[in-house]
Amino acid sequence: MVSWSVVLPLLLAGALMVFEDWVCIPSCEVVPSNHPEDFSVEDSKELKVMMVANLLLLGSEAGYMNLYFRDSYMAKFFRKSFERLKPDMLVVLGDVSAKGSELTSHKWFSVLQQFQRMVGPFLSLPLHIVLGDRDVGVCSKVSENLISRISSSLPGLDSAGCGAFEVSNISFFSLNSVALLCGNNGLRFGVEKAIERESTDMQTHMVDTNGVTNDSNRFHVQENFGSFEGRENALSSGSGPVLLLHFPLHQTTNSSCADVSSLKRSLSPLDRLSFKTLYNQDHAGMGPYELGPYELLQALPQNATEYIFHALKPKIVFSAHTHRFCDHTHRDGTREVTVPAMNWNARGDPGFIVASFGRNKAVTISQCSLARESHSEFRILTVFLAVGSVTSRNAGSQKRLRGSSPHCASQELG
240 band by pLDDT with thresholds 50, 70 and 90: very high
User: What's the confidence (pLDDT) of residue 335?
Assistant: 94
Q: With DSSP H G I counted as helix, E B as strand and the rest as coil, what are the percentages for the chain, rounded to 5?
A: 45, 15, 40
- Angle, helices 105-119/71-85, rounded to nearest 10 degrees: 50
Taking the C-alpha atoms of residue 248 and residue 318, their distance in angstroms, rounded to an integer, is: 8
Sort strands 316-319 and 335-338 into parallel, antiparallel or unpaired.
parallel
pLDDT tens digit sequence for 82-94:
999 999 999 999 9
User: What's the confidence (pLDDT) of residue 51?
Assistant: 97
Taking the C-alpha atoms of residue 45 and residue 127, their distance in angstroms, rounded to an integer, is: 19
pLDDT above 70 for 260: no
Strand partners, 319: 338
What contacts 382, CB < 8 A, 6 or more positions away?
12, 15, 16, 19
Top-level class of domain 25-370: alpha beta
pLDDT higher for 272 or 343?
343
Taking the C-alpha atoms of residue 166 and residue 7, their distance in angstroms, rounded to an integer, is: 56
Span 335-340, average pLDDT: 95
Q: How many helices (H) and strands (E) does the chain have?
A: 11, 12
Taking the C-alpha atoms of residue 102 and residue 54, their distance in angstroms, rounded to an integer, is: 17
The pair phi, psi for residue 131, each rounded to 5°, is -75, 135
Q: Is the dihedral of CA 154, 155, 159, 163 positive or negative?
A: negative
Q: Answer yes or no: are the C-beta atoms of 92 and 78 closer than 8 Å.
A: no
pLDDT above 50 for 160: yes
319 band by pLDDT with thresholds 50, 70 and 90: very high
What contacts 218, CB < 8 A, 6 or more positions away?
196, 199, 200, 203
User: What's the confidence (pLDDT) of residue 371?
Assistant: 73
pLDDT higher for 388 or 352?
352
The pair phi, psi for residue 289, each rounded to 5°, is -110, 145
1 band by pLDDT with thresholds 50, 70 and 90: low
Q: How far apart, in Å, do the first and last CA atoms of the chain sit?
A: 32
Taking the C-alpha atoms of residue 409 and residue 403, their distance in angstroms, rounded to an integer, is: 11
Q: Is the dihedral of CA 268, 271, 273, 276 positive or negative?
A: negative
Span 212-220, average pLDDT: 43
Q: Is the dihedral of CA 384, 389, 390, 393 positive or negative?
A: positive
130 band by pLDDT with thresholds 50, 70 and 90: very high
Taking the C-alpha atoms of residue 337 and residue 200, their distance in angstroms, rounded to an integer, is: 26
In 3D space, the residue among 190, 199, 245, 200 whose CA is nearest the CA of residue 222 turns out to be 190
In 3D space, the residue among 137, 140, 138 whose CA is nearest the CA of residue 150 turns out to be 137
pLDDT higher for 411 or 300?
300
pLDDT tens digit sequence for 12-67:
666 555 556 656 678 889 988 776 555 544 444 589 999 999 999 988 877 776 77
Amino acid, res. 111: V
User: What's the confidence (pLDDT) of residue 5?
Assistant: 63
Half-sphere exposure of 166 (CA within 13 A, CB side): 9
